[in-house]
Structure 1
Amino acid sequence: MSQNKKIDSLLKAYNKVNHDTDKINLLINKIGLEFELINADSAIHYYNKAFNLATDIDNKYLKAKSLQQIGFVNLSKGNFSEALNYFLKSNEEFLSISETTKKSNEMEKAHCSCLSSIGIIYSNLGIYNKAIDFFQQSLIKNEKINDLRGISVVYNNLGLVHFYQKNYDNAIEYFKKSIALKEKLLTENKDDNKLKKGIADTYNNIGMVYENLNDKENALYYYNEALKDYELINYTKGIGLSHNNIGLIYEKLNDMESAELHYKKSLEIKLMIGDKSSISSIYANFSSLYLAKAKSATISSAEKDKCCKESVNYGLKSLELAEQINAIPLISVASDHLKNVYKEMGNYTKAFIYSEKFIETKDSLFNADKTKAITEMETKYQTEKKQQEIELLNKDKALQNEEIKKQAIIKNSFIIGFGLILLIAIIIYRNFRQKRKANIILSQKNTEIEQQKEEILSQSELLSETNSQLLTRNTEIEQQKEEILAQRDELETSNLKLQTLNAELEKLSIVASETDNSVVIANEQGTIEWVNAGFRKLYGYTLEQFIKEKGSNLIKASSNEHFLECMMECICDKKSVNYITETFNSSGKKLVIQTTLTPILDENGNLKKFVAIDADITKLKEAEEQIRKEQEKSEALLLNILPVKTATELKETGKATPHYYKKASVLFTDFKGFTMSCEKLTPVELVEKLHSYFVKFDEITSKYKLEKIKTIGDAYMCAGGIPEEDDSHIEKIVKAALEIQQYMEERKIEDEKYEKDVWQLRLGIHTGEIIAGVVGKKKFAYDVWGDTVNTASRMESSGEPGKVNISESTYEFIKNQFTFTKRGMIEAKNKGKISMYFVDGIV
């Protein structure tokens, strides 16, 4: 909105100005520049208006400036031929300014800019010697007037020439020199949009250098710097270019989300500008991006299908636009993307179609280059013909000189013999005049011949440059031809393999009628033509009965929902495919069938028949299922005995290495009243009661992810912090202990109610270092060792029924999470006095 207000203000100012020179300057230096930022065609309109006004007042400098600005706009649009035409016309106007005219710094700067622009175009066309020549002319003029802005432009252009010639270190050096000068100037002219655009352009150039060096991090940094500067001046073309470049780098870094975001922003701008070639190229980038996503191993099948469809959608859009503008290289790229994505989708028919299109475009590019080569050779022929004509003219000149010499001899003879005769004098005078006339004619011819020589030399230089480019292109074409020939060799090898396979299938058909397997032969459309006796034995149908109930075509008759995909794969790859189907025979019995579907090809590789061989693998599948269930039972039993990590190590290596744990906690329990119950209860009753307690303990320890170690008589042992280390295990094992004692209290109330023997529980916990693992070769058991185990046992034996007794080591880790009763130093067997605490509850 602010941009439009500024333009409206400038146009109002233009209408108020009366002097033509002021109007022209306003059009060139203000109005045209503002329109360049938003609408290139409008900018050209106002620069043409400036040129017409300058022509009316015969101001060569302003004519040159107007032409130069039109050249700039065409250059920014990529119209190199138009841009070069306007810059050369501008240069002619600059050169036509009289040497006696005092030239201002502004005139010299404008001329330098024009020379640099011509150099840029020659650089883009690959004519580097002419590019360097014009850049040097510009640099000399800029240094003469000490124009830092102009020098910075030339540095940037020299950087580009080195970039195109792959002298990357020199290119970066010149680009950085250019940026340094522009930034120095920008400190004095903070609102100069041209300077800002120049810095952004040079950042973009450095990004290209690093991208070619495969330095993605630096390339991304400089492309982002360019984008920031383009956005500051709202330069839409540069913003679109930067987003596309950044997207390409993110795709190379495998950051698909960022790449997609920048491609979308670039596409919005290109659609607004209407640049069909760039739009087609970005669509191709999207197609490549979604194909890369589809190939990712981390996405689901549904997401992969979605990505493939998006890739196809953008590939078709790219192809449609490329065909509209007949851009054969873009058609080739789009066809290649479509070929690859259809191959990824398993749609080999369409993959083959676009593969053919890709090869056709390669051939078209080859033919176009060949036509260009013929045209250039014809030009060379015409040049040589002209040279021969010049040589003939030189011979005529020599003959005429000989004739003049003869005339001179005759003249001297007549002077000696008839010196006094007036008639001879007249003849001599007339011969003199003829000689003079002949010399004038010969002089004119000599001038014409010299001019023709200069033209031929100029054409020879251009032809030499063109021939050099042609040789480079011919090398590329030869490489493309080698690639195509290699592809054809691969196809011939494939055909040979298919022929061998067909021969084997011919042999197999002989025994088809004798095998127990079902054999079905169908034509190229899949219509069933013949079945063997094995078919009738397997399915219980004759061919006529099967067709009546299931249909005559393999596609309709098959019970496999993926049969059509298998059939298409068989057709495209021209080789057998295998698949498994669950179906039923005529009696309703469920069958599991493994089918081998094989294409029969004729001598030209065309599909002739299908052979489907069905094998009954029902019993095999049942046996596999039974084995799987037994394996699951064994796995569950093993995991009930050992931790997962230890069990896995045992299965893979046949042994389990004991592990050291710096911080683990061990819990022991023991029943008070168990011995008395042994006297009162039968062994069966005793074990059942003990079992009911231990089952509950198992539930509680599992809830807190503790590892049960073992039971010894009426003692129960578990540990925390193993086999997986867990910083919160001490809190968990104490909570489990409190919950066990709570359960014991509930059982006590219930047993007293029914006058049963009441059992009470002592429980102790200690935290410290342990070794855990499996030892021995038979009856594997996971166990723990170390002084921590002995201390935990002493905590239990030194405790009181209904209490959770812990050591000071355990207390220090959880003292802020629970409430405690300090017991002081308690004598423990074989340990001396140990500081102990009762855990009363949770804070």
Structure 2
Amino acid sequence: MKRVIHIVFSIFLLFNGISFFGQSRIKQKIILTKKENIKMADSILNLGMKYQDAGEYSKSLLLFDKSLKIYNLLGKSQKVGDCCSYKAVTYYYQGDYSNALFFFKKSNEAYKKTKYKKGISSILNNIGGVYYYLGNYLDALNYYKQAIVVQEELNDTKMTAATSQNIGAIYSQVEDYPNALKYFRKSYLIYKNSTDVKAISQNLNASGIVYIKLSNYPKALKNLNQALENANQINDKQLKIEILSSLGELFFKQSNFERALYYYNLSLKYATEINSLQYISITEVALGKILNNLGKNKQAITKCLKGYTTARKIGAVSVKKEACDCLYKAYKSNQNDKLALHFYEKSINFKDSLKSGETSNKMMNMEFQRLQLLDSISHVNKEHAVEIKHKEEVQKKETQRNIIIISLCFIVFVALGLWNRLNYTRKSKIALKIEKDLSEELLLNILPEEIAQELKEKGFVNARDFNLVSILFSDFKSFTQTAEKMSPQNLVEEINTCFKAFDLITEKHKIEKIKTIGDSYMAAGGIPKPDKESLTNIVLAGLEMQDFMSKRKINNEANNNPAFEMRLGIHAGPIVAGIVGIKKFQYDVWGDTVNTASRIESNGIVGKVNISESLYDLIKDDESFVFQYRGNIHAKGKGEIKMYFVEKNPIISN
């Protein structure tokens, strides 16, 4: 059962008194007003912090907003940073990671204005924590490294301990458990000399989870019991939720389902009280898995469906995969093969989406291989020095009679050795160049050229916002029924033929292929470089794809082979684009525009190119196309959307 190690959010907010001076009575009145406002805002902020500690998040957010407005009006940048930071932590506990990132970054901007390094250090650590939970380990490490630089400037051992613990958590995710325990131990040695009971408890919980993975159950139980005792001491509900969930995992691993149920139910109770969607989803799925093992499949289905629904709200891919695995087993045991297959396929899709340890290990091995190469070069130099010294000693022992012969042999030997070495070096350079060229070609085949260049230069790629990008989706109608008439080999060959054709079409019209998911093909126009002609080009590409599928269908039917028919939809709007995770690099896009484009496709008709009203408004004056208004079409999750069919203008085409 996959576990998530909680990230430590260490927030150090200092409330400094501000003094104002003036001479006139009018100025003194203004000073009093400002001081009264600051005092009132401080009181509201402190009250919000109390509600946050009590798990009453909706009340705390309202109070943080009120104090934030006052601080903004007074121009108190550091206080603005404090409010944004507390808001971000509240959103994190509720599983709203998008808002958590937004307000952490707003807090960082505010702290930079006043050069408040302690606040900057804390925020960088927290941003890294959110990226860590989302599985984006490259961005997480980047922010942790930035945080450590500031912490070292401040000589802040406590925050260094928190960041070290977070780095240990990343090692745990890539299954490098010795290094994970090394960093946890490093932070524990700092914490144990402090009075920070919460930090010690979080550290013990994190190391306890690693011991579970190493099957060292006695050590895990000792750490987790101590962590729970500390959490009860300070009555921190969020911390108790995490530790109780870890204890549930420990007893599940030992097949002690009775105790596992006890701890998971207790964790779920507290999570529900404070509306922690993250742990509600984790514990519901965990309870479903236990019920599966106990043969209570109907109850397992109920629990896992609840966990799956909650995980979908917060976008927790790993939890959704766990829920689908649980539902597959439960429905299979109930002999409901249709639903079992449905959730099995979803589990496979989520598995492909997860970005975890394999690529991270490869990246770490790149540094290891570099050190190996340096060691090898050093070893060769040492061997060469030993060889020369040996020859000198042999040369001294030879008699004068053999000096000429030995000298000639030595010269020939050295000449041959140098020639072989030069030849080897030349061949090695050629081989390295070939490998480099192949790597470059492979990287450019996976990522856009601009993104690949940025990745090589910086080691990571920053996500970018685009105000206007067109998104194309296609999929094959009745794919499952048609596929059943084909052998696996013929099915793969047919899909490959279609997608190869689509790749050539997207390249021809200068739009970017994003990915394929099963029988679905996704492309985008206007990224990574905005292009004013991309809207026209993506529609032309869609029409050409449908034309290819029509001709392909005629050819297949003439040969008595099954043929696919395709729906295709296009929508335009703002998106966020970047590289997801650290395993199997993939350039991807996110945003409501992507979801809407998918709905436009699913509400299309075979052989037609279906577009949204927003795209129609942008290209309606283009004489290359003619449009057919379809009216308001109901789209799942989006309500009524105006849609249009688009075709090439026959007059222009002729």
What is the TM-score when the length of structure 2 is the normalising length? 0.47
Higher relative contact order (CA 8 A, sep 6+): 2
What is the TM-score when the length of structure 1 is the normalising length? 0.37
Answer with 1 or 2: which has the greater Rg: 1
